[in-house]
């Protein structure tokens, strides 16, 4: 188990400067992280900084609220891929999920997955806003829609990843899709516990500190 392979090195703050994104990419190269995770406006820069390296680019879509139109999310996802993104981390429409609009939630994920072709799609559930049954349902819908990952959190909600939520997600998805834990993961011990619970990816802005 090589810990850097699990890490999406993340900077999603609205205040992120171009030099900070360049620094993020430099650290990702130096530490051998799996990917950087950035907002859509920074994908082109990250692509330039990371060309001819193994580091992937993950871009967030519908972030952080998930409440924009499906058409807007599809356009955003396609635009990110066009600019160099290898992976898309999309936020589900939480209000639709809570309204039992299961078909709309599922179809939105399907449409985005179709829009990005063979690129990786991670579906952010934002578990801090969901009941247990809603978390279970969100996992099922993501699997049915052909997502590659379910992901706990944006890091911008009222809470981040928890061991309980990851355990629930693993129980629901098994080996059908992978799991990404993100939000509040700041030390190696915590990261390793998530991996032991079955997580394939850790989203964190504390990657270098986590390794040290």
Q: What are the pLDDT digits (tens) for 135-188?
A: 999 999 999 999 999 999 999 999 999 999 999 999 999 999 999 999 999 999
Q: Per the residue annotation, which of 56, 73, 135, 180 is the catalytic one?
A: 180
Domain 3-211 has CATH 3.40.50.1370: no
How is the chain split among helix, strand and coil, in percent rounded to 5? Answer: 50, 15, 35
Residue 21: Cβ within 10 Å count? 20
Residue 93's pLDDT is what? 98
pLDDT beyond 90 at 212: no
Residue 129's pLDDT is what? 98
Cis status of the peptide bond prior to 64, with omega within 30 of 0 = yes
* 180 classed as catalytic: yes
What predicted TM-score, i.e. pTM, was given to this entire model?
0.98
Q: What are the pLDDT digits (tens) for 48-95?
A: 999 999 999 999 999 999 999 999 999 999 999 999 999 999 999 999
Phi first, then psi: give them for residue 122, nearest 5 degrees: -110, 135
Mean pLDDT of the chain: 98
Q: Per the residue annotation, which of 73, 89, 122, 165 is the catalytic one?
A: 89
Q: Report residue 114 CA to chain centroid gap.
A: 18
d(CA 166, CA 188) in angstroms, rounded, equals 17
């Amino acid at each position: 188990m090589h810990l850097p392979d699990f890490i999406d090195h993340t900077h999603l703050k609205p205040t992120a400067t171009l030099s900070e994104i360049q620094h993020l990419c430099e650290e990702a190269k130096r530490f051998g992280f799996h990917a950087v995770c950035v907002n859509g406006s920074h994908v082109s820069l990250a692509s330039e900084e990371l060309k001819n390296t193994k580091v992937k680019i993950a871009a967030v879509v519908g972030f952080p609220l998930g409440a924009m139109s499906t058409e807007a999310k599809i356009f955003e996802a396609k635009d990110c891929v066009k600019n160099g993104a290898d992976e898309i981390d999309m936020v589900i429409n939480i209000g639709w999920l809570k309204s039992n609009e299961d078909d709309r939630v599922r179809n939105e994920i399907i449409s985005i997955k179709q829009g990005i072709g063979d690129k990786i799609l991670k579906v952010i559930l934002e578990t801090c806003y969901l009941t247990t049954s809603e978390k279970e349902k969100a996992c099922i819908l993501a699997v049915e829609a052909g997502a590659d990952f379910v992901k706990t959190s944006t890091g911008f909600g009222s809470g981040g990843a928890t061991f309980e939520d990851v355990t629930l997600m693993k129980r629901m998805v098994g080996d059908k899709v992978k799991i990404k834990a993100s939000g509040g993961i700041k030390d190696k011990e915590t990261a390793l516990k998530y991996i032991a619970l079955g997580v394939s990816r850790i989203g964190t802005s504390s990657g270098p500190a986590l390794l040290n």
